[in-house]
Structure 1
Amino acid sequence: MSDFRPLTDAEWPDEIGDLLPGFAGRLDVYRVMARDPRLLRAWQDLRQHVVIDSSLGAEFSEIVILRTGHRLGSPYEWGQHVSRSRKLGMSEGRITSIAGSIERMSEPDATLARAVDELLDEARLSDKTRRAILGLVGTEGMFDLMATVGFYSTLAFIANSTDLALDARIRAELEETPSSGRTTSRSA
Structure 2
Amino acid sequence: MTAPTPLSDAEWPGGIADMLPGFAGRLDIYRVMAHHPALLRAWSDLRQHVVVDTALGAEFSEVVILRTGLRHGSDYEWGHHVSRARKLGMEEARIASIKGPLDAMSEADAVLAGAVDELLEASRLSRARQADLEALVGRAGMFDLMATVGFYTVLAFIANTAELPLDANILAELEKTPAP
Same fold judged by TM-score > 0.5? yes
TM-score bracket for the superposition, by shorter chain length: over 0.9
- Gap regions ≥5 residues in structure 1: 181-188
Residue identity matched to 2:16: I
| 1:184 corresponds to | none
Residue 126 (structure 1) aligned with residue 119 (structure 2)? no
Matches within 5 A, 1:53-132: 53-132=53-132
| 1:153 corresponds to | 153
Residue identity matched to 1:174: L
Instruction: State the identity as a percent.
Output: 67
TM-score, with structure 1 as normaliser? 0.95
SS at match of 1:109: helix
Residue identity matched to 1:48: Q
- Measured against aligned partners, the alpha-carbon deviations of 1:101-139 in whole angstroms (never above 9, x if no partner) come to 100000000000000000000000011111000000001
SS at match of 2:100: coil
| 1:22 corresponds to | 22
SS at match of 1:154: helix
SS at match of 1:139: helix
- Gap regions ≥5 residues in structure 2: none
| 2:52 corresponds to | 52
Q: How far, CA to CA, are the matches of 1:175 and 1:102 in structure 2?
A: 28
Q: How far, CA to CA, are the matches of 1:137 and 1:68 in structure 2?
A: 18
- Give how far 1:3 is off: 4.8
TM-score, with structure 2 as normaliser? 0.99
| 1:34 corresponds to | 34
Runs of 4+ in 1 over 3 A off after TM superposition: none
Q: CA RMSD in A?
A: 0.6
